[in-house]
Amino acid sequence: MKKGFTIIEFLIYIAILTVTIGAIGLVMSNIFRVGARTDVVQEVSHNGRFAMQRIGQAIRESSGIEIEEGGKKLVLSFEDSAKNPTVFDVFQGKLRIKEGNGDCIELTTSRVVVEKLLFKKVSDDSVRVEMNISFYNPQGLPEYEFNSFFTSSFTLKN
pTM confidence score? 0.79
**pLDDT values of the chain reduced to their tens digit, one per residue, 158 residues:** 667 778 888 899 999 999 999 999 999 988 888 888 889 999 999 999 999 999 999 999 998 999 998 999 999 998 888 888 999 999 999 999 999 999 999 999 999 999 999 999 998 889 999 999 999 988 888 888 999 999 999 998 86
CA-nearest of 84, 146, 80, 134 to 109 is: 134
pLDDT at position 1? 60
How far does CA 145 lie from the centroid of its chain?
11
CA-nearest of 8, 7, 115, 123 to 51 is: 115
CA–CA gap between residue 106 and residue 95 (Å, rounded): 6
pLDDT at position 158? 66
Strands 86-91 and 112-123: unpaired
Please give the span between the terminal C-alpha atoms of the chain, in angstroms, as a whole number.
98
Residues paired with 127 in a beta bridge:
121, 154
- Which strands form 147-155's sheet, in the order they lie side by side? 112-123, 126-135, 147-155
pLDDT at position 12? 92
pLDDT at position 6? 85
pLDDT at position 2? 67
- Average pLDDT of the chain is 91
pLDDT at position 21? 94
* Largest separation between any pair of C-alpha atoms in the chain: 100
pLDDT at position 50? 96
24-51: per-residue pLDDT in tens?
999 998 888 888 888 999 999 999 999 9
CA–CA gap between residue 153 and residue 158 (Å, rounded): 16
Domain range annotation of the chain: 7-155
CA distances from 45 to 33, 38, 41, 132, 151 (A): 18, 11, 6, 11, 13
Structure letter (DSSP) for residue 142:
G
